[in-house]
Amino acid sequence: MKIIPKNSFSRDIDKVHNKDLRLALDNKISQIERAKDLSHITGIKKLRGYETRLTKY
């Protein structure tokens, strides 16, 4: 899957100084990028009130 982060998201990630949290974020982002579809991403939940989980661009 392709990730298109907002600039504010990238800046927020750069501000994370906790090594464990930063490693967890990097691992999750890598998992999402490698995923062929949503079933390959662990911990994803459908938001109430929305028909789809992700916005398609």
Q: Average pLDDT in the 1-10 region?
A: 84
Q: Write down the pLDDT at residue 4.
A: 82
Give the integer Cα–Cα distance in Å for 44 and 29.
12
Mean pLDDT of 1-14: 86
40 DSSP assignment:
G
Q: Distance from CA of residue 45 to its chain's centroid?
A: 12
Q: For 16-52, how does the pLDDT look when each residue is reduced to its tens digit (9 = 90+)?
A: 999 999 999 999 999 999 999 888 988 887 777 766 6
Looking at the whole model, is its pTM more than 0.75? no
Q: How far apart are CA 32 and CA 30, in angstroms?
A: 5
Q: What's the pLDDT at 1?
A: 81
Residue 56 in this model has a pLDDT that exceeds 60: no
